[in-house]
Homo-oligomer: A and B are copies of this chain.
Amino acid sequence: MARQVDENKINAIKKATVETVVIDGISGASISKIASKAGVSVGYLYRFYKGKRELLEALFEERFQMINNLLLDQVYTQNSVEDIVTFFVKTIYEIANTRPQSISFTHKLLSDFSFELPKEFKKDVTNICQRLIKLGHKTGEIDADITDEIIYVLLVGGVLNFVNIRQRRIFEDKEFTQEDVVKTTELLLKALSPNSKNSN
């Protein structure tokens, strides 16, 4: 029972942090603003995070863990790149709809070089990319030229990027639809697909 309260508060802190960072930027997100938005005292927040940086890093790590785990799960169980990409895009867009700022937050920290990438991150990412490539070569869905870097840029970077731009409201301000999932997947698969010119 007491545990429940804690979890709720910690979640409130996380939610408030993400929200504040997304709205006000990293530098505009003060601890006291976050705490008051989360409905907890400043001191309470410090019981769980040693400081502002640690709070952001923990959330950053959590997000990337989540994304990586999502893909790791898939690359070990699915039999086609299309299924994996579809599932990934669908999941991310669903998150973007239900917790729009979550994706934004991740994208923002990814572009802030003063925040280090989580430690396990590189290993997991390499693992994911290599398995995807291997699978794609087998199924003929991925061109021989595609590198780990390209896979990552397209899949993770590309999707986060799309969400970021949608949320920037440059073109229109609407939720992600099933159609968006289909289209995005299609684009990604096309980009990855074997080059018909290279028919050697």
Contacts and interface: CB of A to CB of B under 8 A. Distances in A.
Interface of A: 22-28, 104, 107-108, 110-115, 117, 121-122, 125-126, 145, 147-150, 152-154, 157-158, 160-162, 164-168, 170-172, 183, 186-188, 190-191, 193, 195
A81 to B, nearest CB: 15
Contact of A149 (B126, B147, B166, B190): B166
Copies in the assembly, this chain: 4
Given A158-B161, A164-B157, A183-B150, A170 B115 contact: no
A27 B152 CA distance: 28
B111 A170 contact: no
A30 to B, nearest CB: 10
A100 to B, nearest CB: 11
Contacts of A154: 187
A161 B150 contact: no
Contacts of A188: 191
B190 A150 contact: no
Contacts of A122: 170
Given A26-B26, A161-B161, A162-B157, A150 B187 contact: yes
A160 to B, nearest CB: 8
Contact of A111 (B158, B162, B164, B193): B164
